């Protein structure tokens, strides 16, 4: 597969360089070049884009705020002249970070990292079926497989979701609670609060509007979710 890309930079020379690098890389396909984040936002809303090369320092809307504004947006590789932005770039789950002036070897290294990510995701999709009992999520630089049975509950944290597993591992992924809810089987998982989604098979006790998982985590049931959760309980009540 070719990775569909856009380059976003307010500096014409830097934008032209990114465009040249994308065009000379066989597994990348240039969809558009954008002179601002506002132009890029329009392109992303109208066109299928897999990967964005985004400059951080831009007027009106900087690259970090632009990426944060996109719910389930394309993957991103940041470019900037200032290394102190690296940490912030990684906080929004960027695949990589390029320091200007960018040479083609560094660009290609970052592009290859993106290719590994997309190849892994594509293989997971091709090998999947309706009877799958797991999902793949992106966590930092990894693509992590999580079995449904291993999920205790998921916790929404602004633009991130933290998945709590039975082993005690906590997996952070840049996604919305809504997107995770749509991926999980509704007969096994239920949204019980604006910030919590639970594995119904792991619920051990319900007391005063709270869900208990053994003697550890306690999850509140939100007002707007009480009726649906009570219907589930009633269906299984002896």
What confidence category does residue 91 fall into, taking pLDDT thresholds of 50, 70 and 90?
low
Domains of the chain: 3-126 (3.40.50.2300), 134-235 (2.40.50.1020)
Tell me the C-alpha distance between 72 and 183, whole Å.
Answer: 13
Q: What is the dihedral of CA 224, 186, 163, 85, to 10 degrees?
A: -80
21: β partners: none
**pLDDT at res. 130:** 47
Does the pLDDT value for residue 18 go beyond 90?
A: yes
Pick left, alpha or beta for residue 85 (phi over 0 → left; psi -120 to 50 → alpha; otherwise beta).
Answer: alpha
Does the pLDDT value for residue 17 go beyond 90?
A: yes
Instruction: Tell me the C-alpha to C-alpha distance, in Å, between residue 21 and each of 57, 95, 111, 150.
Output: 20, 17, 10, 42
**pLDDT at res. 223:** 87
**pLDDT at res. 122:** 73
**Tokens found for residue 2:** 């070719």
Q: pLDDT, tens digit, for every residue of 94-121?
A: 788 899 999 999 999 999 988 888 887 7
Sign for the CA dihedral angle at 190, 181, 117, 171 comes to negative
- For residues 202 and 166, is the Cβ–Cβ distance under 8 A? yes
- For residues 192 and 126, is the Cβ–Cβ distance under 8 A? no
Q: What is the mean pLDDT of residues 166-184?
A: 86
What is the percentage of the chain residues whose pLDDT exceeds 90? 39
Find the helix packing angle between 12-24 and 104-126, rounded to 10°: 50
Q: pLDDT, tens digit, for every residue of 117-145?
A: 888 777 655 655 445 688 888 887 778 88
Model-level pTM? 0.59
Give the other-Cβ count within 10 Å of 55's Cβ: 25
């Amino acid at each position: 597969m070719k990775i569909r890309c856009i380059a976003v930079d307010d500096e014409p020379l830097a934008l032209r360089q990114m465009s040249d690098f994308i065009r000379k890389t066989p597994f990348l396909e240039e969809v558009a070049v954008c002179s601002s984040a506002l132009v890029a936002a329009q392109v992303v809303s109208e066109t299928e884009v897999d990967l964005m090369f985004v400059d951080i320092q831009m007027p009106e809307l900087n690259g970090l705020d632009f990426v944060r504004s996109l719910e389930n947006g394309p993957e991103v590789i940041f470019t900037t002249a200032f290394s102190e932005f690296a940490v912030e770039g990684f906080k929004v789950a960027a695949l990589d970070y390029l320091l200007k002036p960018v040479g083609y070897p560094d660009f290609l290294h970052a592009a290859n990292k993106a290719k590994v990510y997309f190849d892994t995701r594509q293989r997971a999709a091709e090998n999947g079926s309706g009877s799958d009992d797991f999902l793949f999520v992106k966590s930092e630089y990894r693509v992590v497989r999580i079995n449904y049975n291993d999920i205790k509950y998921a916790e929404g944290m602004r633009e991130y979701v933290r998945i709590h597993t039975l082993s005690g591992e906590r997996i952070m992924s840049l996604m919305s609670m809504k997107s995770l809810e749509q991926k999980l089987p509704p007969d096994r998982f239920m949204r019980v609060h604006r910030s919590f989604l639970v594995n119904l098979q792991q619920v051990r006790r319900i007391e005063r509007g709270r869900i208990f998982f053994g003697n550890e985590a306690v999850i509140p049931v939100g007002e707007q979710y009480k009726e649906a959760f009570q219907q589930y309980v009633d269906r299984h009540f002896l």
